[in-house]
Every structure is written in C-alpha cells, then in structure tokens.
C-alpha cells in the first residue's frame, strides 16, 4: 500500500495538474459553447472502443472456427466482418470531421476573444510589449492549442477507457496473463508524467523564442529603409540566424525528449507483446487457451499497454498545447481599461474649454513626469506647449486622451471632470494629429473614413478638400480608392499628413491635439499642410506641441514646460520680453535656422 501511495504522490507531483487548471479553465467556456459537437465526438469515441472490442471477438471466433474447420461458422462470421468494416469507416470519418470542426470553431472564437481583449488593454500594455509578440500570441500560440481542445484532450479520456475495456476482455480470456501485462502500465504512466513536464517547460521556451522571432521580423521589415540606408543587412541576418539557432536548439531538445519517451513506450509495448506471446503459446500447448484466444489476446493487449504508454505520449502533447495556452492566458489576465469596445460617442455639451488642475503623474511611480501642473485653455483658443525634451508635453497629451490617469489632480472639459466620462466619450471629444502620421494599409477613402464611421462620400470629400488633399488624391490612378500600402508607404510625407488632417476634420471634435506636423516637411509642402491645419484649427480649442517655435508665434497662449512643471506662460512677445526659458530656447533655435540658411 505504501508503494502505491508513493507512486501516486510522485505521479501527481510530476503531472503538476494544479498548474494546468487555470489555462484549461480559460478554454472551457469555448468548448462548452459547442457541447453538441463534443457530445457527438464522445459518442463516436465510445463507439470506436466498442468496435475495437467487437473486432477482437470477431478475430477470436473466426480463428477458432477456421482451426475447427467449421465452414458454416466462418460464413456466418463474415457478415460481422463486413459490418465491422462499415462501422469502422463511418466512425473514422465522423470522428475526424467532428474533431476538425470543433477545433476550428473553438480556435476561431478564442482568436476573436483575444483580439477583443487586446483592443481594450491600456496604453501601458502596448508600450511594454512588442507588437510582434502580440501577433505571436494571436497566431502561433492560439494555433498551437489544438491538442488541448482536440485529439490530445479526447485521447486523455479515450485511452484510459480503452485500457479498461481491453483489460476486462483480456481478463475474461485469461486473468493471469492480463494482470502480468497490466504491471507494465504504471512505469509507462510515470515516465509519461516526467517527460510531459519536461516537454511542457521546453515548449514554453519554444513559444517565447518564437515571439522574439516575430518581433524581430516585424522590426526588420517595417524598418527596411533604415536597414538599407545604414547597410545593416548583414547584421540583421546574423541576428536572425542567432535567434533561429536558439530556436533550433530548443526544438532539437524537444525532439530528443520525445524520442526518448517514444523509445520507452515502444519498449514497453514490445515487451508486453513478447511476454504475452511466450506465455500464451505455453497456455495453448497446455490446452488452457485456444489459438483464437491467443490471437485475440495478442491483438487486444496493445489496447491495454498502448493506452498506458500512449496516454503518456498524449499527455506530453497536451503539455505542449497547455504551454501555448498559458501564454494566451497571460494576456487574458491583463486588466482592460473598458468592459466593451469603444464606439464614437459625442458629448454635445462640450465646446472645448480645458482646465488642468494640480496634475501629478508618473509612469513608473518614481520619476515624476508632471508635477502640480495647472493650465486653463479657453474654448476656441490655441495653446502651444513648449519645452525641452522630457518636459512633459507628450505626457499631457496622453492624459488628455485618457491613455493614462493622473495620480492626483483633475482634468475638466467645460467644467465636466473627465474622470466621470467613459473612455469613448472622452476620446470622442478630441482629434489627434501626430507628428509621425500613422495610416493603415488600405485605400485613401478607408483611412479618411476612420475619422467618422458611416460618413457619406460627400462628407469625406469635403474633409479632403479642407485638408488640401483632394487635388492630389484625384491625380492618383484610382483616386480615393488608391491603395496606400503599409503605413501609407506609397504616399509622400506631406500627402500622409494631409490624409491624417482630413481624418481629423471629418471627426469634427471640439478639441484638437496637434503634435506639430510640419517640422519634417519641405517649404512648399509645409505651406500646404499649414494651410490645412489652419482650417482644422478654426473654431476649435487647439493644443499644439511646438517643435519649431517660429510656427507658434501667433498662438493665443504659449505654455512653457520644464521637468513636468509650468514655468512660464504668455504670448510670444510677452515671453520674449521676460527673457526666461522660452527666450533661451527661441534664441538657440533662431541661431540654428539662420546658420542653416547661410549654409544653403
């Protein structure tokens, strides 16, 4: 009894079933959703076990009838043989079809749910995780869970039932021989538990390395221009080769583990066959077993030993699926900022007034990005944010769009605390035009239309005209239907900026957040973009992050930031006369621009 207790304790410790509960519980609702398909799968599974036992009975009786030269018995049994072929084929078809159907449906639902969850994750998650890694979770990891929702999961149930059915039948033929063969089972099961845990750990490392590979490829292809211009092709190749070498080492280790396990499983199966054959022949010679009994026994013993060795193999394969499922589970464990996906929700009462009161914010809890920051922006006015790098300008934009929440203080839109608004309402109040425009792969029409879902063609064209974009769009071969490529690569920088401005015009939000969009453009293009921006800023409350101080001299108010604090504010002329930080920044930039003109 102590031996059995120690064996069970060792088996349970190596299986680590407790660690598998969380990821398997994650998948359970998706499996339950298709319970009818899984019910039919279990019906075909039980039917398959019955057909296997039926074939053993057929083989046993057919052999004995042949040995006894009982022709009439052989003829009658042939009918059962045909029935076996029909039933076996039907069960094979339905089990394969049903399993594939269930796996594809569950996997698709899980992908949809994971993407739905990712779309609601806060900005901090996206800043801390590479986009390539997130793509890996949606593709490689989800595609690797098939075993946990298909063949391996079913085999973990089917193989023990098959072993029980086979043992009962074998025990009926010869109880002593059946018990001898059964003794090989615990060794196989324990080895499967040990190898399964090693395989799971190694599989997790494989998936982590694949995520790094996805991230590397994403960077390499998206930044191909930098790769070429800095002649980094060779360096990138060796980096790729290094990651691939690490992946190869892990996969070879996995192959080694599976090889050793399979060798052990085959040895257990072969040993059981030899034991049964040797002892069975002795029983036949002694007259206690018929030839049909021996043939049936040898045929069926594989269904006793193999489920025990095969169960360990299926357990190892299930561990690989669970390793992938754990990575998916980690994403689902990340808290989201909203319960549902956001839709455009305009707030009619907001005219654009902004009040920022005693804001204190830190990204990491240590370094302060904004410290007791106060600023009032009147409705319809333009305020420029100026300051050295790291002063807190972009952080302020992140807070205004609700990407982060301040640790203390309050932001109000027209005296309404933004903390009482939903994220959808808050972001519907603002239109954001970044310095580095991001356009999606698709047509120009699609990218402008993102500003207002359901906008008419007339509204879309009107927005493009306001953005000084209509003329160049119509000059393209397919007009608004022109495909712009990844990140709008087929358009020039100025064209991309004007598409982004048209998108913001179409949104028609009362508050405009503008990360100065003309700093990297040539003079002619800058005039076109600047003209579009002036139309966009008309009758809107605008906050501009100023990179070139010469472009914001006409702002209603200039707020100067330094180390997270508001150190100066006023008009351009007022700040110049104060000869403070703004004056020094202006002097430095003016000197650089004058030198650039002289050199030109």
- CB-based burial of residue 351 (10 Å sphere; 0-12 exposed, 13-18 middle, 19+ buried)? middle
Alpha-carbon distance of 110 to 325, in angstroms, equals 10
Q: What is the CB-side half-sphere exposure of residue 551 using CA atoms within 13 A?
A: 25
Contact 421, 338 (CB under 8 A): no
Domain 342-429+509-600 and domain 439-508, same fold? Reply is yes
The whole-number pLDDT of residue 578 equals 86
- The secondary structure element, H or E, covering residue 373 is strand 368-377
pLDDT value for 231: 63
- 3-state helix vs strand vs coil in the chain, percent to 5: 70, 10, 20
Report the first-to-last Cα separation within the chain, whole angstroms. Answer: 93
CA separation for the pair 516, 541 (Å, rounded): 15
Domain extents for the chain? 2-332, 342-429+509-600, 439-508
pLDDT at 598: 44
CB 21 within 8 A of CB 254: no
What pLDDT sits at residue 21? 65
The contacts of residue 20 (CB under 8 Å, 6+ apart) are 322
Question: Which residues pair with residue 384 across a beta bridge?
Answer: 544, 558
Domain 342-429+509-600 class, CATH top level:
alpha beta
Neighbour-count burial of 235, counting CB atoms closer than 10 A to its CB (0-12 exposed, 13-18 middle, 19+ buried): exposed
* Predicted local distance difference test score (pLDDT) of residue 7: 42
Please name the residues in contact with 398: beta carbons below 8 A apart, sequence gap of 6 or more: 123, 404
Going by CATH, does the domain composed of 2-332 fall within 1.20.1560.10?
yes
What string of pLDDT tens digits covers the 600 residues of the chain?
454 454 445 444 444 555 556 667 778 888 888 888 888 988 888 888 888 877 777 777 777 777 777 777 777 777 777 887 888 888 888 888 888 888 888 888 888 888 888 888 888 888 887 777 788 787 778 777 777 777 777 777 777 777 777 778 777 777 777 777 777 656 555 655 566 666 667 777 777 787 788 777 777 776 665 566 556 667 777 877 888 888 888 888 877 877 777 676 666 666 767 777 777 777 777 776 777 777 777 777 777 666 665 565 566 667 677 777 888 888 888 888 877 777 777 766 777 788 989 989 888 878 888 888 898 888 888 898 988 888 888 889 889 888 888 889 899 888 888 888 888 888 888 888 887 788 888 888 988 888 888 888 998 898 888 888 888 889 888 888 888 877 778 888 888 888 888 888 888 888 888 887 665 565 666 677 777 777 778 888 888 887 777 667 788 888 888 888 888 888 888 888 888 888 888 887 766 655 544 444
User: How far apart are alpha carbons 398 and 362 in whole angstroms?
Assistant: 12
CA atoms of 129 and 211, how far apart (whole Å) = 11
Using alpha carbons, select from 12, 14, 32 the residue that is nearest to residue 24: 32
Structure tokens at 27: 């998948």
What lies within 8 Å, CB to CB, of 425 at 6+ separation is: 345, 346, 347
The pLDDT, as a whole number, for residue 592 is 61
Contact in structure between 564 and 369 (CB atoms under 8 Å): yes
Distance, CA of 490 to CA of 500 (rounded, Å): 15
Instruction: Indicate the pairing of strand 382-386 with strand 541-545.
Output: parallel
Residue pair 408/358 in contact by the 8 Å Cβ criterion: yes
Residue 138 burial (C-beta neighbours within 10 Å; 0-12, 13-18, 19+): middle
In sequence order, what DSSP letters do the residues of 464-516 get, joined into one string?
HHHTT-HHHHHHSTTGGG-B--GGGTTS-HHHHHHHHHHHHHHHT-SEEEEE-
Which residue from 370, 382, 375, 384 is spatially nearest to 354, judged by alpha carbons?
375
Which residues, 6+ apart, have CB-to-CB distance to 508 below 8 Å? 431, 452
Paired tokens of 304: 């006793």
Match 């039933």 to its residue by tokens.
87
pLDDT computed for residue 393 by the predictor: 87
Domain 439-508: which CATH number of 3.40.50.720, 3.40.50.300, 3.90.550.10, 3.30.350.10: 3.40.50.300
CA dihedral 60, 66, 69, 71 (to 10 degrees): 90
Find, among 519, 542, 562, the residue nearest to 393 by Cα: 562
């Amino acid at each position: 009894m102590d031996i059995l207790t120690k064996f069970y304790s060792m088996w349970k410790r190596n299986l680590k079933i407790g660690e598998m509960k969380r990821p398997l519980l994650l998948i359970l609702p998706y499996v339950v959703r298709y319970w009818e398909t899984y019910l039919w799968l279990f019906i075909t599974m039980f039917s398959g076990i019955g057909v296997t036992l039926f074939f053993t009975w057929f083989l046993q009786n057919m052999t004995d009838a042949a040995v006894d030269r009982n022709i009439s018995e052989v003829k009658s049994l042939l009918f059962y043989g045909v029935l076996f072929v029909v039933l076996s084929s039907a069960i094979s078809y339905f089990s394969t079809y049903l399993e594939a159907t269930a796996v594809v449906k569950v996997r698709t639902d899980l992908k949809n749910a994971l993407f739905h969850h990712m779309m609601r994750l806060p900005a901090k998650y996206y800043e801390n995780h590479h986009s390539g890694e997130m793509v890996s979770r949606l593709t490689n990891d989800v595609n690797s869970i098939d075993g946990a929702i298909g063949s391996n999961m079913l085999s973990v149930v089917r193989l023990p039932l098959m072993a029980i059915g086979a043992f009962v039948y074998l025990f009926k033929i010869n109880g002593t021989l059946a018990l001898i063969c059964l003794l090989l089972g615990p060794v196989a099961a324990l080895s499967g538990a040990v190898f399964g845990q090693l395989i799971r750990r190694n599989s997790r490392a494989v998936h982590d390395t694949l995520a790094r590979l996805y991230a590397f490829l994403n960077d390499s292809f998206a930044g191909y221009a930098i790769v070429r211009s800095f002649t980094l092709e060779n360096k990138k190749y060796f980096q790729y080769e290094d990651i691939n070498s690490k992946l190869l080492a892990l996969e070879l280790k996995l192959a080694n583990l599976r090889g050793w396990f399979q060798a052990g499983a085959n040895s257990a199966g072969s040993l059981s066959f030899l034991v049964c054959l040797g002892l069975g022949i002795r029983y036949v010679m002694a007259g206690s077993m018929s030839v049909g009994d021996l043939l049936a026994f040898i045929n069926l013993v594989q269904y006793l030993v193999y489920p025990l060795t095969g169960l360990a193999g299926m357990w190892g394969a299930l561990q690989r699926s669970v390793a992938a499922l754990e990575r998916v589970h980690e994403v689902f464990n990340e808290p989201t900022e909203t319960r549902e996906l956001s839709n455009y929700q305009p707030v009619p009462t907001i005219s654009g007034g902004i009040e920022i009161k005693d804001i204190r914010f830190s990204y990491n809890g240590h370094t302060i990005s904004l410290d007791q920051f106060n600023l009032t922006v009147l409705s319809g006015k333009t305020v420029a944010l100026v300051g050295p790098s790291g002063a807190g300008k972009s952080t302020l934009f992140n807070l205004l769009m609700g990407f982060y929440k301040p640790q203390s203080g309050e932001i109000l839109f027209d005296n309404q605390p933004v903390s009482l608004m939903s994220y959808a309402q808050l972001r519907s109040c603002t239109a954001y035009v970044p310095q580095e425009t991001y356009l999606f792969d698709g047509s120009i029409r699609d990218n402008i239309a993102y500003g207002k879902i359901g906008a008419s063609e007339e509204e879309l064209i009107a927005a493009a005209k306001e953005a000084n974009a209509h003329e160049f769009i119509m000059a393209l071969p397919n007009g608004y239907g022109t495909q712009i490529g990844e990140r709008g690569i087929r358009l020039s920088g100025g064209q991309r900026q004007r598409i982004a401005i048209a998108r913001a015009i179409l949104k028609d939000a009362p508050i405009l957040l503008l990360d100065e969009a003309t700093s990297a453009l040539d003079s002619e293009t800058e005039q076109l973009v600047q003209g579009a921006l002036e139309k966009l800023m008309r009758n809107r409350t605008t906050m501009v992050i100023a990179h070139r101080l010469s472009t914001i001299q006409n702002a209603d108010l200039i707020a100067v930031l330094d180390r997270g604090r508001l150190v100066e504010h006023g008009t351009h002329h007022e700040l110049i006369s104060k000869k403070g930080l703004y004056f020094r920044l202006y002097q430095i930039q003016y000197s650089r621009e004058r030198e650039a003109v002289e050199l030109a």
